[in-house]
């Protein structure tokens, strides 16, 4: 899909027609008859008269929809582009309705509507995050608390200020779209975020993913954090101190995030996640988590951790349970709450049969990224990944039928660590002690299977601390110890769930059936595994149930499921050694309880 996709639509006057009508209606909440009455006057004069009359009417109605020389939209009376250092922009559009953002994107030739009404855009050079270009400002507040290294690259304060000024200068004379939003569904931990976007479709993403304040809340909105998002601005590493032309930089002291040189929208979402991963554990003693969460009919909350390919999205989307959220959550003394107001789902090979909730959520207001169409249509071909395997869609949580609102739940009763063990060593399900839970949480293990990525010819281990290493401003042990405290306090069950191979490694055994995995989760959630007999695996010391309704007992004990016992022992030892090797980077900061849960590795003479 090209940027314009053949669209040659003439741009409308910004102060007449359906666009203004939509803005007015949305801002006022008046009936359509009253709106039409005002519009009769609106259409009676020249443009200058229209503008003056329109906004006099709005003021008489005591509405906060406004127009100045270079600002228009819905905002607090004391909010302005001057506060953001953007007084010289051509026009700033505040809190536009999604329909307006879609229209603007199409008029500008930046996107097209699909046959189901979703807006499809291309993000250009970057179709994913760039972890090596993520920075944190080093200052008095962060020097002793941030986990410095390849996850949190150090950026100097003076360089940040200079880069910020250069970005402001770049946006001078341009149009910008401003979104007032917030993160954290629990009001106790809410942070207000003001997002400034160079493109209207980026602002649509911000609308979809963050929590959305009401009109009355916008009228009284006070910014706490600001995200300045300018994909068209390319940094000069020699001047700006970046690695290359793209960057995402967090300044915890100034509560300001700079994102430039990349149009990939995931950088916007994950920047606030990184902020919350610092603020909540470090300042509030709230555990921030890269996970999905749902609620049963009896109000029981379950949490699902897992890296890509483990089945986290599929398994947490249970029609019998309500969805709290699919990606980012906090765990306070009161319970679990979603950070976000939407979902950012992968689209590769998407079908209504595989992922009905995601498929049905793709409608008007959804934003599709880097997809391809079937020839001569606007029907999306989700199997076509010629641009990227990381095709995505964002949409509000309200597009999911069984999403809870507000997105909060009680203290979790069960937590699932999902792993796709392609080596066939780990049991389909095992119950973890607190020490094992902390150790496996820090490890964040899964395996990449041959054929899923170029160059991979056999399974390879993948570890990502706390199932989201790239977003951790603090040392992983900080999160693990907080997890351990909560597990002990609330007596939560933690399960290690292997959605990978049984009866042998990849190429010998077979991947466990999805129906078996669902049966194991159901049994854990309903207490059916509380009083059954358990065995213990060698090396990893994992306790596994010897029976489970709906699951063949012979696959529950990994070693017994293998025909070649010597081959199992070798694979198990290799995987245990990989765990221990990976954990060396965290061992110096881990407590005794965590270290005691490490797998056993036989020392050969």
**Strand bridging mode 493-498 / 412-419:** parallel
How does pLDDT run across 376-398, given as a tens digit for each residue? 999 999 999 999 999 999 999 99
| Per-residue confidence (pLDDT) for residue 309, from 0 to 100 | 84
How does pLDDT run across 27-82, given as a tens digit for each residue? 444 444 444 555 555 555 445 454 455 555 554 444 455 556 689 999 999 999 99
φ/ψ of 456, rounded to 5, equals -95, 115
**Kind plus residue range of the DSSP H or E element containing 202:** helix 200-209
Identify the band that residue 317 occupies on the pLDDT scale cut at 50, 70 and 90.
confident
Q: What percent of the chain has pLDDT over 90?
A: 83
Helices (H), 324-375: 356-361
How does pLDDT run across 537-559, given as a tens digit for each residue? 999 999 999 999 999 999 999 99
| Per-residue confidence (pLDDT) for residue 248, from 0 to 100 | 98
For residue 192, list its beta bridge partners: 182
CA atoms within 13 Å, Cβ hemisphere of 7:
20
Catalytic positions are: 129, 270, 290, 308, 312-313, 327, 392
| Per-residue confidence (pLDDT) for residue 14, from 0 to 100 | 41
How does pLDDT run across 417-430, given as a tens digit for each residue? 999 999 999 999 99
Average pLDDT on 139-166 reads: 97
Q: In whole angstroms, how far apart are CA 573 and each of 131, 346, 509, 566, 578?
A: 32, 34, 18, 11, 9
Q: Please state, rounded to an integer, the average pLDDT across all residues of the chain.
A: 90
- pTM (2 decimals)? 0.89
Domains of the chain, earliest start first = 1-63 (no CATH), 69-284 (3.40.449.10), 292-324+411-595 (3.90.228.20)
Per-residue tokens: 251: 């300044």
Helices (H), 210-265: 215-219, 237-240
| Per-residue confidence (pLDDT) for residue 602, from 0 to 100 | 82
Cβ contact 138:131 at 8 Å: no
Q: What percent of the chain has pLDDT over 70?
A: 87
12, pLDDT greater than 60? no
Torsion of CA 184, 189, 194, 198, to 10 degrees: -40
Cβ contact 561:535 at 8 Å: no
């Amino acid at each position: 899909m090209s940027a314009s996709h053949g669209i040659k639509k003439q741009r409308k006057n910004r102060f007449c027609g359906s666009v203004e009508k939509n803005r007015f209606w949305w801002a006022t909440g008046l009936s359509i008859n009253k709106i039409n009455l005002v519009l009769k006057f609106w259409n009676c004069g020249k443009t200058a008269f229209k503008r003056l009359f329109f906004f006099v009417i709005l003021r008489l109605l005591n509405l906060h929809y406004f127009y100045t020389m270079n600002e228009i939209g819905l905002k607090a009376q004391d909010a302005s582009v001057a506060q953001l250092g953007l007084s010289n922009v051509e026009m700033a559009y505040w809190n536009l309705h999604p329909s307006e953002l879609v229209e603007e994107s199409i008029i500008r030739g930046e996107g097209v509507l699909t046959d189901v009404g979703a807006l499809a855009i291309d993000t250009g050079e970057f179709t994913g995050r760039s972890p090596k270009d993520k920075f944190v400002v080093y200052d008095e507040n962060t020097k002793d608390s941030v986990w410095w290294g390849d996850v949190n690259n150090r950026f100097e304060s003076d360089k940040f200020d200079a880069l910020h000024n250069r970005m402001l200068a770049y946006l001078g004379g341009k149009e910008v779209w401003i979104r007032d939003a917030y993160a954290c569904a629990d009001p106790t931990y809410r942070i207000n975020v003001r997002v400034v976007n160079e493109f209207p479709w980026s602002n649509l993403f911000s609308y979809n993913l963050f929590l959305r304040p009401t009109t009355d809340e916008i009228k009284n909105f006070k910014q706490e954090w600001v995200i300045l998002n300018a994909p068209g601005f390319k940094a000069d590493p020699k001047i700006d101190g970046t690695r290359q032309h793209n960057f995402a930089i967090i300044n915890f002291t100034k509560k300001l995030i700079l994102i430039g040189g990349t149009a990939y929208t995931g950088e916007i979402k994950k920047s606030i996640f990184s902020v919350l991963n610092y603020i909540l554990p470090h300042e509030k003693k709230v555990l921030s988590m890269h996970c999905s969460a749902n609620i049963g009919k009896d109000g029981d909350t379950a949490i699902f951790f897992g890296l890509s390919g483990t089945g986290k999205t599929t398994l947490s989307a249970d029609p019998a349970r309500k969805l709290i959220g699919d990606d980012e959550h906090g765990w306070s003394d009161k319970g679990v709450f979603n950070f976000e107001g939407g979902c950012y789902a992968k689209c590769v090979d998407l079908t209504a049969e595989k992922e009905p909730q995601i498929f049905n959520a793709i409608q008007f207001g959804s934003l599709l990224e880097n997809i391809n169409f079937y020839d001569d249509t606007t029907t999306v071909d989700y199997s076509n990944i010629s641009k990227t395997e990381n095709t995505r869609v964002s949409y509000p949580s309200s597009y999911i039928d069984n999403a809870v609102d507000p997105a909060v739940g009680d203290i979790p009763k069960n937590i699932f660590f999902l792993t796709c063990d392609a080596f066939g060593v780990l049991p389909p399900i095992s119950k973890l002690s607190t020490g094992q839970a902390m150790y496996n949480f820090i490890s964040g293990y899964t395996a990449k299977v041959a054929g899923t990525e170029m160059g991979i010819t056999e399974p390879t281990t993948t570890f990502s601390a706390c199932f989201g290493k790239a977003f951790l401003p603090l040392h992983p042990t900080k999160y693990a110890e907080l997890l351990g405290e909560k597990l002990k306090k609330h007596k939560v069950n933690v399960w290690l769930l292997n959605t990978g191979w049984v009866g042998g490694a990849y190429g010998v055994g077979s991947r466990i059936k999805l129906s078996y995995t669902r049966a194991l989760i159901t049994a854990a959630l309903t207490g059916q595994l509380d009083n059954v007999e358990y065995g213990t695996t060698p090396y990893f010391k994992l306790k596994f149930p010897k029976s489970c309704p709906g699951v063949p007992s012979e696959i529950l004990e990994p070693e017994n499921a293998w025909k070649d016992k010597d081959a199992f022992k070798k694979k198990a030892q290799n995987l245990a050694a990989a765990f221990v090797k990976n954990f060396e980077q965290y061992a110096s900061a881990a407590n005794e309880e965590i270290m005691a849960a490490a797998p056993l590795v036989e020392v050969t003479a």
